A = this chain, B = another copy of it.
């Protein structure tokens, strides 16, 4: 297929740029003594996950049990589910853990007790980490006594093995200025380090300290508390992460749109609206058309402002750069793959698309 004939809107992934991003992260982490456990919630592709493991990743992360089901059933053997698993999903979790190594995070004594009891009833032992709130104010046990209590409950539970602590500083990922981002991330790592010490002081060894994303993995490594980092978006990048200073990854993901109408003088209309690009992080960027900008115009349409109309024809392509890769990828059933030369090289299923349960 010629790329000019692609059905639009299409989610296009440059596999050469992807491979460079995968290699850069693997290289950046390899010599540090810190393990790399990439987050697959971004790409949702077992093929990309397998490539990450080939390049040295210790395993992968998923956000949900549903994503872990896709990864494990595709042959990815070592998965950490980075959000809390509610009791109603424990049977699914245990079924999955029988097929491959699946570890979990826990942020309450009750949750540790319940999962431990049910795992033990099936003769299983699940690796569990304490999820610590390092400042994102989302899930996670409070640092200090609360986190120590959860660690103790995990140690005491017959069906669980205490594997360490997780403290995701999601609120630091998009602090664009380098020094400020580093300062805020370090505050989070200090909380993690104190919590690790408090748990160790309770005579509980802490094998793993897992944290960080694409914006902060470098600070987590520099600080020294992390034994493992969880970046996800670096594989393809997006217009938000592009603004984060000193990140050595390149944009590999595009939406190819078509101009569908040129009847208004102020703008041209393309076939990408809310159903084909996420806008939770603002509008996507417009590639190769300096001075233009995109604005949603409903579910199925977008406006491109300030395109020279002499250059705009119905059927011509406009390439967008997603503002937020994760939520945009989650709208599509497959990637259309290209190489650096723009040659079409195939289609890749987004196997975990919509696997939000």
**How many chain copies does the complex carry?**
2
A209 and B301 CA atoms in complex are apart in Å by 22
Instruction: Report A329 CB to chain B, min CB distance, Å.
Output: 10
Chain A 62-93 interface residues, beta-carbon cutoff 8 Å to B: 63-64, 66, 83-84, 86-89, 92
Check: A20 CB closer than 8 A to any chain B CB: no
Chain B neighbourhood of A9, CB < 8 A: 356-357
Whether the Cβ atoms of B107 and A261 lie closer than 8 Å is: yes
Question: Does A276 sit within 8 A of B, measured CB to CB?
Answer: yes
Task: Give Cα A107 to B107, complex, Å.
Answer: 57
The B-contacting residues of A in range 218-265, CB under 8 angstroms, are 258-264
Are B141 and A263 closer than 8 Å at their CB atoms? yes
A279 at interface by CB-CB < 8 Å: yes
Report yes or no: A260 in contact with B84, Cβ–Cβ below 8 A.
yes
Interface-lining segment among A94-102, A116-124, A176-184, A291-299:
A291-299
CB <8 Å contact, B280 and A296: yes
Which residues from chain B contact A269 at a C-beta distance below 8 Å?
A: 138-139
Evaluate whether A10 and B170 lie within 8 angstroms (CB atoms) in the complex, with A138-B298, A261-B138 already known: no
Identify the closest chain B residue to A141 (Cβ): B263
> Are A275 and B107 closer than 8 Å at their CB atoms?
no
